[in-house]
């Protein structure tokens, strides 16, 4: 099956810093989503991005489907950005999650 | 529009018991999928229902089952609970299912098996 790897596994930042999270996948996929899991467990949609670049405020994402990777950029990080970030790829019949990047932002 | 809701939010059971979890999708969404999240295995796909039919199933034993009603609400059942079933169970809904549009997740049900 498709393998999804995320890096780095852990990231510690001071407020105001920028960061880049990476998601590699082993085979062609139909779509890719980025999620933020808050401390209570809820998965919040960030981007639905099968290819190209999208931006939403301080967050942006780029997926290069032909090279099988996606990047999530967080600029001017805030303490509320803390949590676990997951990428998930879709084939025709399921959503396959990566192992996640745990981000901690300190004031 | 209301989001995906899951009930109950927390549940404590003992080994050997069975449990039923409920998921109400976003209005108009016909696809509901279920996931199990554990520290050791991460987020894993359980199954997907669309128009009251199970379309896809992950690699879980037959103790895990589900169903979907005509209003698209879905239930998941786990029989003969084991300690390893302790997990956060998440459901997601979408308009038509995988490969077509965004999956929206509920807040989850945290199950503890003692």
Q: Give the model confidence (pLDDT) of A15-34 as tens digits.
A: 999 999 999 999 988 899 99
Among A35, A45, A94, whose Cβ lies nearest the Cβ of B45?
A94
Question: Which residues in chain A have Cβ-Cβ distances shorter than 8 Å to B99?
Answer: 30-31, 90-92
Phi, psi at B104, each rounded to 5°:
-110, 130
What is the average per-residue pLDDT within A33-53?
Answer: 93
Among A35, A41, A93, whose Cβ lies nearest the Cβ of B98?
A93
How many residue pairs bridge chain A and chain B with CB atoms within 8 Å of each other? 61
CB A28 within 8 A of CB A89: no
Q: Give the side-chain half-sphere CA count within 13 A for B48.
A: 23
Phi, psi at A79, each rounded to 5°:
-60, -30
What is the average per-residue pLDDT within A2-15?
Answer: 96
Nearest CA-CA partner of B36 in B94, B96, B81: B81
Whether residue B105 lies within 8 A of chain A, CB to CB, comes out as yes
CB A49 within 8 A of CB A71: no
- CA-based torsion, B58, B62, B63, B65: positive or negative: positive
pLDDT(A41) > 80: yes
Among B44, B98, B108, whose Cβ lies nearest the Cβ of A42?
B108
Contact B45 A95 (CB under 8 A): yes
Whether residue B103 lies within 8 A of chain A, CB to CB, comes out as yes
Q: Give the model confidence (pLDDT) of B34-86 as tens digits.
A: 999 999 899 999 999 999 999 999 999 999 999 999 999 999 999 999 999 99
pLDDT score recorded for residue A79: 95
pLDDT(B99) > 80: no
What is the average per-residue pLDDT within A78-107?
Answer: 93
Query: Is the model more confident about A40 or about B66?
Result: B66
Chain B CA closest to residue A97: B43
pLDDT(A56) > 80: yes
pLDDT(B100) > 80: no
Close Cβ partners of A40 (under 8 Å, ≥ 6 residues apart):
B107
Residue A52 burial (CB < 10 Å; 0-12/13-18/19+)? exposed
The proportion of chain B whose per-residue pLDDT surpasses 70, expressed as a percent, equals 99
pLDDT score recorded for residue B97: 82
Distance between CA A17 and CA A75 in Å, rounded?
Answer: 7
Average pLDDT, chain A: 94
| Interface-testing mutation among B1, B103, B107, B109, with chain A (most A C-beta atoms within 10 A) | B103
pLDDT band at B107 (very low <50, low <70, confident <90, very high): very high
Question: Which residues in chain B have Cβ-Cβ distances shorter than 8 Å to A97?
Answer: 35, 42-44
pLDDT score recorded for residue B106: 96
The DSSP result for B32-94, as a single string, is EEEEEEETTTEEEEEEEEETTEEEEE-S--TTEEEEE-TTS-EEEEE-S--GGG-EEEEEEEE
């Amino acid at each position: 099956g498709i393998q999804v790897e995320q890096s780095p596994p852990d990231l510690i930042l001071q407020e105001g810093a920028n960061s880049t999270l990476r998601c590699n996948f082993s085979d062609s996929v139909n779509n890719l989503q980025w999620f933020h899991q808050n401390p209570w467990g809820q998965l919040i949609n960030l981007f639905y991005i099968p290819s190209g670049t999208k931006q939403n405020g301080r967050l942006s994402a780029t997926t290069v489907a032909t090279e099988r990777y996606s990047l999530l950029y967080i600029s001017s990080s805030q303490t509320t950005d803390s949590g676990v970030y997951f990428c998930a790829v879709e084939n025709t019949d399921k959503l396959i999650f990566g192992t996640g990047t745990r981000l901690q932002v300190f004031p | 529009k209301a989001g995906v809701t899951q009930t109950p939010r927390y549940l404590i059971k003992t080994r050997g018991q069975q449990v039923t979890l409920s998921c109400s999708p976003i209005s108009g969404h016909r696809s509901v999928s279920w996931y199990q999240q554990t520290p050791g295995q991460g987020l894993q796909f359980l199954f997907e229902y669309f128009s009251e039919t199970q379309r896809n199933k992950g690699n879980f034993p037959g103790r895990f089952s589900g169903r979907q009603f005509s209003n698209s609400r879905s239930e998941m059942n786990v029989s003969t609970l084991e300690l390893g079933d302790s997990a956060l169970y998440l459901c997601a809904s979408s308009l038509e299912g995988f490969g077509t549009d965004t999956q929206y997740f509920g807040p989850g049900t945290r199950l503890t098996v003692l």
